[in-house]
Amino acid sequence: MAREYLKKATKTARSDAADVSATVQGILDDIEQGGDAKALEYAAKFDKYDGPILMSEAEIEAACAQVPEKLKADIEFSHANVKRFAELQKSTMTDVETEVVPGLIAGQKVMPVEAAGCYVPGGRYSHIASAIMTVTTAKVAGCKHITACSPPRPGVGIAPAIVYAAKICGADAILAMGGVQGVASMAFGLHGLPKANILVGPGNQFVAEAKRILYGRVGIDMIAGPTDSLILADKTADPEIVAADLVGQAEHGYNSPVWLVTDDRALAETVMARVPELIAELPEVNRDNATAAWRDYAEVILCDGREEMAATSDEYAPEHLTVQAEDLDWWLDRLTCYGSLFLGEETTVAFGDKASGTNHVLPTSRAATYTGGLSVHKYMKVVTWQRATREGAKDVAIATARISRLEGMEGHARTADIRLAKYFPGENFDLSAEE
């Protein structure tokens, strides 16, 4: 059978994507020209905060002192897991060299960027985990300066738990500023900070657009849209857990798509009946977000067997992909497009979001078809080098001269000619592009 939509979304992640480009470009231009003063002006307007922008060590310590010891322990546990996994990732990138042809050695060096800017959302929810995910990976990569930037709350400042997480994970500076003005401050090196070479971390549509506009002048992790999640479930899945996992991701925001793909009609119908009941039990803000997300963006898709389920998932290329089905190794080998994969009911997206070690900054809106999520690798540059003996350069120079002339690049060709003439006087070479 073809796919059957038991529930079809009326909107997509792009339905409510307002055209914010002109607004963001204007703010970036103003701040680049006006510097610190203009950034502070926008901070006063949007953050509605008149406290210290760049937190002092004493202010950081005071904020950390407000964090309960149990929460500190949880943050430290999460940091240790993320750090351990990041160190494993870094170990996969090494300096190498090889003799390409006799006498010519080429290699690569792996090195971190100098300065990283880590944006940590702090609006609807205090994203403690985002501080852990972004700052820890930058620190493990070896960035010499890391700025953590988060929107302050009027009269309060940055949530103390975010400050604590940023500090223990290795931030060198903590900037109490949100939105475009925070991103711009890191990119332009305002408030006495070094210019960031890369900007990372999730944020709202204005933050995402600022990163998109600045990309090229600085590196970015990715351009993120609303978070999305897909669950693949067969007859062995527990419908209560499936429903809870869908609701857990729908609470992110009114426009956060969640999808259930299954080959079991009974499971689908049970989950569809249960989700609204679980949503109704959430606190008000979470309930309102999840209600809208489930109503407008959620889909339940019935497929004919696991191959069609896998093909559907790959087409959707979800940010988060959960498999609650038999033969997990088959799914691991078969699935190709996702930001992060959660195999079996014993793990869940929330584990990856908060504490299990893999990163939660992931590709959304089908970007998983071409990229993975944030990792140590995002902060690393892979550069190449070469050296040669004169004999080793000989055949390369001959080929270079001929190819360059065929392309019409005579200046390139002559850089090969001059070396052949110097290193092998008296030898004649056919360096023309013609037969």
Which positions are annotated as active-site residues? 319-320
Residue 407, marked binder: yes
Strand partners, 118: 148, 200
Q: How many other β-carbons are positioned within 10 Å of the β-carbon of residue 57?
A: 9
Q: How many other β-carbons are positioned within 10 Å of the β-carbon of residue 95?
A: 12
Residue 249, marked binder: yes
Eight-state DSSP code of residue 365: T
Burial (Cβ within 10 Å: 0-12, 13-18, ≥19) of residue 428: exposed
Burial (Cβ within 10 Å: 0-12, 13-18, ≥19) of residue 154: exposed
Residue 227, marked binder: yes
d(CA 225, CA 232): 22
d(CA 150, CA 134): 12
Sign of CA dihedral 269, 273, 278, 279: positive
- DSSP, collapsed to helix, strand or coil, labels residue 151 as coil
Residue 79, marked binder: no
Enumerate helices (H) and strands (E) in the chain, giving the number of each. Answer: 15, 14
Strands (E), 224-273: 229-233, 258-262
Residue 326, marked binder: no
d(CA 250, CA 232): 16
Sign of CA dihedral 277, 281, 287, 290: negative
Whose structure tokens read 């009911």? 345
What is the C-alpha end-to-end distance of the chain, expressed in Å? 60
CA-based Rg of the chain, rounded to a whole angstrom? 26
Residue 353, marked binder: yes
Residue 181, marked binder: yes
- Amino acid identity of residue 345, one-letter, is E
Residue 412, marked binder: yes
d(CA 216, CA 116): 15
Q: Which residues are annotated as a binding site for Zn(2+)?
A: 249, 252, 353, 412
Q: Which residues are annotated as a binding site for NAD(+)?
A: 119, 181, 204
Residues in the annotated binding site for substrate: 227, 249, 252, 320, 353, 407, 412
